Structure 1
Amino acid sequence: MSAMRRISFLSLLALSAALAGCGSSPPVRFYTLQPAPQAAPANVPRVDYQIELAPVTVPQQADQPQIMLREGQNNGALTPLYSDRWSASLGNEIGSALTDTLTRTLGALNVQTLSPAKDIPVWRIQVDVQRFDMVEGGPARLDATWRVRPINVKNGRALICGSVVQVPADQINVVGSLVHAQQQAVVLLADTIASAIQSGGARATPASGQVQLLGCAQ
């Protein structure tokens, strides 16, 4: 075999190997919990307080780059979906989605990364996620303990609550439908938290029948 033919043959082998490697690695899909941008409701007035959402804590087994799929409601096995990943850390995804809904629902500015002006009323929000389950075939489940605490707010009281949110998912597109269900679960959690702030910390009202309050305490 001539040198030129040998080079061409080796180049063809290298190209074939590269194509085979590409064919064996499916493309990675990235998902976010932030809903699509929406216009602020026209009937929500601006308020005189601001909100400050602390970094959201999540269980380590769910806090992975890959989406973790639970195999059946009564099965503890978790399967990492290496081709389906979050676009950011799970705590950041939940926090960004909560902030998006809270600011739109309340009409308040978020000052998480800024220092509010002195004496400005602020509601500080902490969310500790205990369960973040995406069960094959549904539902998506979000368990969290959360707290709202007033700073410089007249007649405001601190309130801590536990809640469970479960949203059914369409089984046709397992991953996409579960992500959408968790998006809805985060929105429902945010609206329930917003109700506590709107009541001045007196009470929390479940945003829908898919939200179960486990109890609240001052």
Structure 2
Amino acid sequence: MKFPSVRTALAGAALAAALAGCSSSAPPRYYTLSVPAADAAPRVQAGYLIDVLPVSVPAQADQPQLMVRTEEGSVAALYGERWAAPLAEEIRDALSDALKRDLGALDVRTVKPAANAPVWRVQADVQGFDLVAGSRAQLDATWRVRPLNTAGEGRLCRSLVVENVDGEGAPALVAAQRRAVAALAGAMAAAIRGGTEDAGSSVRTLGCTALPRAQGENPA
């Protein structure tokens, strides 16, 4: 009978240990930017709908895992901490949820509007989406709100939102970025209502201009 060599036995033991380590590693944790449903009670319904378009995000942030920046400028991927959906969808859905709560309006994604229905169209282009370890969440976005078949003045603005991190680890970073997205939605809602675009101390408007009304644009 042939017996395995010591080298073969050791190699087999090392492989078994490696596989055991992989099987016992903690599963990834998933995060969302949307507010939990229990905290999302709707307000009185508005007389118009909202149409929140797909959001663009920078490539370096558009990853399945959380990308965390240090104050020195390096970026680390947290492979065990991931977004529940693609980041662009997370931001779009969080903006929609916040606007629906703030304005009391439904999103055309869930309600098919009539051809002449009053709609506010919302678009956001994110230039910066930063999670800074142990410090802050930062959101830099250019955004547009435009009325369709309803009164109001469209706006094109750029806002910088900074929320301090309250706690340690990935959950605290995500909570801060969740507040930042909600604050950006607050600025959009304020513009739709015809008020100031600064909707809180964490939002700084870097520029804002009125948009000419589009002619013949279909809200559907």
Both structures adopt the same fold (TM-score exceeding 0.5): yes
TM-score by length of 1: 0.84
Deviation at 1:40, TM superposition (A): 2.2
CA contact (8 A) 2:134 2:168 kept: no
Structure 1 equivalent of residue 192 of structure 2? 197
Whether 1:101 aligns to 2:98 is yes
Mapped partners of 2:17, 2:75: distance in 1:
36
TM-score by length of 2: 0.84
Amino acid at match of 2:193: Q
- Aligned-partner SS, 1:192: helix
Which residue, out of 143, 161, 176, partners 1:181? Answer: 176
Amino acid at match of 2:135: G
Mapped partners of 1:39, 1:20: distance in 2:
41
Identity %: 46
Structure 2 equivalent of residue 63 of structure 1? 62
Structure 2 equivalent of residue 147 of structure 1? 144
Mapped partners of 2:109, 2:21: distance in 1:
47
Structure 2 equivalent of residue 48 of structure 1? 47
CA-based RMSD: 2.2
* Alignment CA distance shift 1:192-1:69 (3 Å): same
Deviation at 1:31, TM superposition (A): 0.9
Mapped partners of 1:128, 1:145: distance in 2:
5
Structure 2 equivalent of residue 164 of structure 1? 160
Amino acid at match of 2:32: T
Deviation at 1:205, TM superposition (A): 3.0
Whether 1:208 aligns to 2:200 is yes
CA contact (8 A) 2:144 2:157 kept: yes
Structure 1 equivalent of residue 215 of structure 2? none
Mapped partners of 2:40, 2:122: distance in 1:
23
Mapped partners of 2:136, 2:199: distance in 1:
18
Deviation at 1:47, TM superposition (A): 1.5
Which residue, out of 120, 123, 133, partners 1:123? Answer: 120
- Alpha-carbon displacement from aligned partner over 1:109-133 (angstroms, at most 9, x marks no partner): 1003664211110000000000000
Unaligned runs of 5+ in 2: 2-8, 211-220
Mapped partners of 2:40, 2:159: distance in 1:
28
* Alignment CA distance shift 1:29-1:216 (3 Å): same
